Amino acid sequence: MKLFKGTLYFLLIMLAAILLASLFAPGTKVISRTIRIDAPRKVVFAQLADLKKWPKWDAWYAKDLNQVRTFSGGLGDKIQGFSWSSKQEGLGNGSLVIKSFVNNVSLDFTLVLINKDRKYNFDGKFILKERNGQTVLTWEIESEQRYPFKIINYFLEKWIGPDFSQGLENLKGYVETSSNQELGITENSVTTVEEHGIVYALLAQEQLSESGMEAFFSNSLKKIYNYLKTNNIKPKGAPVGLFYEWDEENHNVNVAAAVPTTPIIQRPDSTVVLKLGNAELYSNRISFIHKGSYETLKKTHLELQSWLKENAVAHKIPVIEEYMKGRSDGVDTSQYMTRVSYYFE
């Protein structure tokens, strides 16, 4: 009887200790890991967005190659995710469902871990930033648990952190050593980039001759709109040209035809009087709406460049032409409307 009472007292003390520890445990815990991968972010994003590629780098898959994974949907579907079932201790059962994404920029998901019939839900995300042709990838989850279950937040760093680190190392090795064919990357494919806080779907061309610009934009925009339709992405504005470099001596440009996929907020802080008319001045750019054919756009560029020089303001690339009204609207060239924007710090 004394042994029984002693055991009971011990268990009660342990339970009280756990409940007390839970009381002071953090209600929210964030686990985050970051790695630099020597590849453009569209390549890295493609490996994240295709969940069937995860077994090639996911550290949880390597723990039990005999686990059962069931996949559902694809990127852009209302439900895309996978679930797993394993007899391996420490892996167990769980699921991951994609909540939202911005192509090549971020991927948000919900992670569910099941332990002894208790489900723990976590919000997670991947964040991709491209720097000099490399991708800085961050993988993180946030745990918000109620008392007394928030005690698990004490242990998440130890439970999940090493797997995140190993998974990112695996992904880096896989991407940097695999061929484009293995990675599912094709040349001249539509990609997405963030420029000046706006995400665009685009096709880029280096050293494009000025005489070939009309055909390039016409063909590229058809492919971009088809890409948006296929991926169930709605355009958030008129098509644009992103001008990264203009070689006037050789009459060619480094340019991208693009369509915005995130909203463009048009709220000027004030107006600036130029020789051509009033320009819109924002906190981060100056814009002028040019009326007339594309061939006459140069004078608008020169006028905006002159204002920047006079005010000692250095602009950032790319320079953006937004084609608000043009050939596709069936109007005369004199009625074309193009917003030209120069961004600055």
Q: How far apart are alpha carbons 100 and 82 in whole angstroms?
A: 15
Task: For residue range 107-161, list pLDDT tens digits in order.
Answer: 899 989 887 777 878 899 999 988 777 899 999 988 766 555 555 655 576 777 7
Same domain, 169 and 239: no
Does the pLDDT value for residue 300 go beyond 50? Answer: yes
Does the pLDDT value for residue 2 go beyond 70? Answer: no
Average pLDDT value for residue range 15-29: 47
CATH number at 134 reads: 3.30.530.20
Residue, of 117 and 260, whose pLDDT is higher = 260
Residue 329: which pLDDT band, with cuts at 50, 70 and 90?
A: confident
- In the chain, the number of structural domains is 2
Same domain, 129 and 197: no
Tell whether 9 is covered by a domain.
no
Instruction: Kindly give, in sequence order, each residue whose CB lies less than 8 Å from that of residue 71, ignoring residues fewer than 6 positions away.
Output: 51, 52, 81, 82
Other Cβ atoms less than 10 A from the Cβ of 207: the count is 11
- In this prediction, residue 153 carries a pLDDT of 54
Same domain, 161 and 239: no
Does the pLDDT value for residue 299 go beyond 90? Answer: yes
Does the pLDDT value for residue 207 go beyond 70? Answer: yes
Last residue of a domain, one of 141, 167, 183: 183
Residue 71: which pLDDT band, with cuts at 50, 70 and 90?
A: very high
Task: For residue range 53-67, list pLDDT tens digits in order.
Answer: 999 999 989 889 999
Same domain, 91 and 195: no
State the average pLDDT for the chain: 83
Same domain, 229 and 317: yes
What global pTM score does this model have?
0.54
Residue 15: which pLDDT band, with cuts at 50, 70 and 90?
A: very low
Q: Which domain holds residue 241?
A: 191-344
Last residue of a domain, one of 153, 183, 213: 183
Q: How far apart are alpha carbons 260 and 103 in whole angstroms?
A: 12
CATH number at 248 reads: 3.20.80.10
Same domain, 220 and 103: no
Residue 343: which pLDDT band, with cuts at 50, 70 and 90?
A: very high
- In this prediction, residue 238 carries a pLDDT of 93
Q: How far apart are alpha carbons 241 and 294 in whole angstroms?
A: 12
Last residue of a domain, one of 163, 183, 203: 183
Q: Which residues pair with 123 in a beta bridge?
A: 110, 142
Average pLDDT value for residue range 237-265: 89
Task: For residue range 88-112, list pLDDT tens digits in order.
Answer: 877 788 999 998 887 778 889 998 9
Same domain, 148 and 274: no
Q: Is the dihedral of CA 296, 299, 304, 305 positive or negative?
A: positive
Tell whether 309 is covered by a domain.
yes
Other Cβ atoms less than 10 A from the Cβ of 58: the count is 20
Residue 36: which pLDDT band, with cuts at 50, 70 and 90?
A: very high
The rounded percent of the chain whose pLDDT value lies above 70 is: 86
CA-nearest of 111, 181, 171 to 141 is 111
Same domain, 104 and 231: no
